[in-house]
């Protein structure tokens, strides 16, 4: 397979390259694509140097699968061009996610929807992916009615500039600011831009994307997204009201049996998910599982995942693996 990684020098792009090697992805030719200022630079993959090329040159190289992690503007302009040239595009930006003509895919949940007609496939928001991974088996069993989620999101979700801001603050060094305020020793209830309804774009992604992934609008989600000074992964406090009652032991069994989900839930040993342990792993970790004692048929839980891996790169590569095995 001739694979193009668009945005190869970015945070997600670098993780994609790492995972292509880790997972022994069938790459016959690797094409690394980045902005004009990076063209000609060398990146090592499996011990060999690969020279970065521009989008126009990559378009002529008969790509089979192109994984885009270069921002919305680039995806909006170039993803259709790559698709027209015969590639299947897996896009990490938000521009195609709510397009009714595009599939929004978490492979463990809805990869079966993909066909040869799907030439641009949307990768969901990082916070959405870990949320639906835990909610999906419970929704099948008990039918969700309403979800309230508060996120505690890593600076790595914003990008290199934000990680550098945190590192500068830790070192006491002045530098460029990714956020309107310091992030160290702080919590910013401000992920992405504010919308007219008072929510941020990130919060509305969490509200809308799960309904599309699960192909079900019978439940509602409301979200508050907060940026915190960690770099290892995103965490979520989730409150779920179901239409049907449940037993906690059955909830744990269902989650334990779900591929890609690991339950870490033992308060006797202080065992619960944390970004410091989720970092560098592909699973979604769930803990602090308990009944909401103020509302019947309602569950509380805590969900953590590496936002650059399962929240972005791993999910994209899993989509590509499914395409190779079942579609292409």
Q: Are residues 177 and 40 located together in one domain of the fold?
A: no
The pLDDT of residue 231 is 87
Query: Which pLDDT does position 249 carry in this prediction?
Result: 97
CATH of the domain at 71: 3.40.50.720
What does the pLDDT look like over 96-132, one tens digit per residue? 999 999 999 999 999 999 999 999 999 999 999 999 9
Is 149 found in the same domain as 286? yes
* Domain co-membership, 132 together with 118: no
- Residue 217, pLDDT score: 98
Pair (283, 144) in one structural domain: yes
Are residue 277 and residue 316 in the same domain, yes or no?
no
The residue with tokens 């790169």 is 313
pLDDT single digits (tens) 214-254: 999 999 999 999 999 998 899 999 999 999 999 999 999 99
Low-confidence ranges of the chain (pLDDT < 70): none
What is the overall mean pLDDT for the chain?
Answer: 97
Instruction: Check whether residue 112 and residue 64 sit in a common domain.
Output: yes
The pLDDT value recorded for residue 324 is: 98
Q: What is the pLDDT of residue 232?
A: 86
For helices 126-142 and 201-213, the axis angle rounded to 10 degrees is 40
Q: Are residues 105 and 169 in the same domain?
A: no
Are residues 293 and 199 part of one domain?
yes
Number of domains the chain contains: 2
Catalytic residues: 126, 234
Question: In which domain, by residue range, is 155 found?
Answer: 127-307
Residue with tokens 């919060």: 203
* Pair 48, 181 in one domain: no
Decide if 152 contacts 223 (C-beta within 8 A): no
Q: Are 70 and 156 in the same domain?
A: no
pTM, two decimals, is 0.97
Q: At 283, which CATH number?
A: 3.30.360.10
Residues 143 and 117 in one domain: no
Same domain, 137 and 284: yes
Nearest to 127 by CA among 145, 159, 98, 150: 150
């Amino acid at each position: 397979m001739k694979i193009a990684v668009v945005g190869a020098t970015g945070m997600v792009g670098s993780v994609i390259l790492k995972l292509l090697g880790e997972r022994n992805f069938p790459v016959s030719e690797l094409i690394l694509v980045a902005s004009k200022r990076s063209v000609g630079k060398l990146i090592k993959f499996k011990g060999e140097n690969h020279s970065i090329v521009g989008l126009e040159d990559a378009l002529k190289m008969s790509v089979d699968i192109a994984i885009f992690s270069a921002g919305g503007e680039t995806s909006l302009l170039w993803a259709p061009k790559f698709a027209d040239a015969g590639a299947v595009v897996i896009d990490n930006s938000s521009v195609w996610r709510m397009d009714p003509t595009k599939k929004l895919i978490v492979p463990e949940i809805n990869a079966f929807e993909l066909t040869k007609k799907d030439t641009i496939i949307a990768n969901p928001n990082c916070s959405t992916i870990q949320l639906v991974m835990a909610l999906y088996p419970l929704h099948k069993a008990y039918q969700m009615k309403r979800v309230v989620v508060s996120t505690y999101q890593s600076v790595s979700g914003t990008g290199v500039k934000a990680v550098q801001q945190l590192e500068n603050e830790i070192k006491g060094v002045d530098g460029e600011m990714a956020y309107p305020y310091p992030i160290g020793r702080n919590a910013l209830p401000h992920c992405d831009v504010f919308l007219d309804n008072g929510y941020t774009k990130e919060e509305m992604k969490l509200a809308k994307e799960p309904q599309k992934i699960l192909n079900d609008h019978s439940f509602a989600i409301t979200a508050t997204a907060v940026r915190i000074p960690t770099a290892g992964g995103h965490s979520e406090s989730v409150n779920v009201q179901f239409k049907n009652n449940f037993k906690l032991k059955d909830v744990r069994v269902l989650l334990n049996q779900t591929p890609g989900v690991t339950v870490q839930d033992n308060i006797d040993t202080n065992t619960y998910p944390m970004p410091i342990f989720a970092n560098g792993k592909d699973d979604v970790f769930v803990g602090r599982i308990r009944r909401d004692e103020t509302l019947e048929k309602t569950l509380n839980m805590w969900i953590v995942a590496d936002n650059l891996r399962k929240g972005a790169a791993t999910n994209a590569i899993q989509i590509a693996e499914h395409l190779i095995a079942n579609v292409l």
